[in-house]
């Protein structure tokens, strides 16, 4: 199931000049953003003290682990729980998942914005290099001795421009990471709520 928070998430914030992605910036996910219908989890930190839950949260949030495998681990965990404990334990799993994913998303978003700031600075520097190159070219047209300096500057300018463009092409890939994270957690949360409603 494809899932995108788009511009309707409660945690959404207006895009800043540092946010370069076409998707609306959602700085932090809330339980309601994920259509959580269970008990409130704000301030619920007990999941860290339960080894099994902490390990499961790590599995569920790790994008290197296939979603099918992660959900399989979730189902195995839930099946082993006494009926009387299932709702409480799975609520803790959700709380841990929300905490962990929000921390991961924050680092990804910060990295994207930092990358974009560096690209903006580099763009300004390359523009200045281009202006200097034009001056060197005019000098080289008048003085053959200046051609060597111009050629070196041209090679450096071409190199810097190529590196800048290669990095710019990586940006769309980076912008797809937050939606991919959101889609995964949405699917996992749906499974958690389904398991909470099942008899033991």
pLDDT (tens digit, 9 = 90+) per residue, 14-73?
A: 445 789 999 999 999 999 999 999 999 988 888 999 999 999 999 999 999 999 999 999
In a domain, 19, yes or no: no
3-class SS at 184?
helix
How far CA 167 is from CA of 19, 115, 154, 171, in Å, comes to 16, 9, 20, 7
In a domain, 125, yes or no: yes
Long-range contacts of 82-87 (CB under 8 A, 24+ apart): 82/200, 83/199, 83/200, 86/195, 86/196, 86/200, 87/38, 87/39, 87/196
Reference 7, options 17, 173, 22, 18; nearest CA is 22
In a domain, 144, yes or no: yes
pLDDT in tens, the chain (200 residues): 333 444 333 344 444 578 999 999 999 999 999 999 999 998 888 899 999 999 999 999 999 999 999 999 999 999 999 999 999 999 999 999 999 999 999 999 999 999 999 999 999 999 999 999 999 999 988 888 888 899 999 999 999 999 999 999 999 999 999 999 999 999 999 999 999 876 54
In a domain, 2, yes or no: no
In a domain, 26, yes or no: no
Cα–Cα distance between 100 and 105 in angstroms, integer? 9
Reference 79, options 105, 58, 56; nearest CA is 56
Cα–Cα distance between 177 and 21 in angstroms, integer? 11
In a domain, 21, yes or no: no
In a domain, 8, yes or no: no
Query: How many folded domains does the chain comprise?
Result: 1
Q: Which domain holds residue 66?
A: 38-196
In a domain, 44, yes or no: yes
């Amino acid at each position: 199931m494809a899932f995108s928070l788009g511009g309707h998430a409660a945690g959404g914030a207006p895009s800043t000049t540092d946010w370069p992605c076409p998707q609306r910036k959602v700085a932090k996910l809330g339980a309601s953003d994920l259509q959580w219908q269970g008990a409130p989890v704000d301030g619920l930190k007990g999941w860290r003290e339960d080894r099994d839950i902490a390990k499961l949260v790590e599995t569920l949030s790790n994008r290197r682990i296939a979603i099918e495998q992660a959900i399989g681990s979730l189902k195995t965990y839930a099946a082993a729980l006494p009926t009387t404990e299932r709702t409480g334990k799975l609520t803790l799993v959700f709380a841990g998942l929300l905490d962990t994913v929000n921390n991961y998303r924050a680092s990804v978003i910060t990295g994207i914005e930092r990358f974009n700031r560096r690209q903006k600075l580099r763009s300004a520097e390359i523009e200045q290099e281009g202006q200097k190159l034009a001056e060197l070219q005019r000098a080289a047209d008048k003085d053959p001795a200046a051609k060597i300096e111009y050629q070196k500057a041209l090679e450096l300018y071409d190199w810097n421009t190529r590196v800048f463009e290669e990095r710019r092409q990586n940006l769309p890939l980076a912008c797809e990471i937050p939606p991919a994270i959101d889609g995964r957690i949405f699917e996992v949360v749906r499974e958690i709520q389904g398991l909470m409603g099942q008899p033991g």
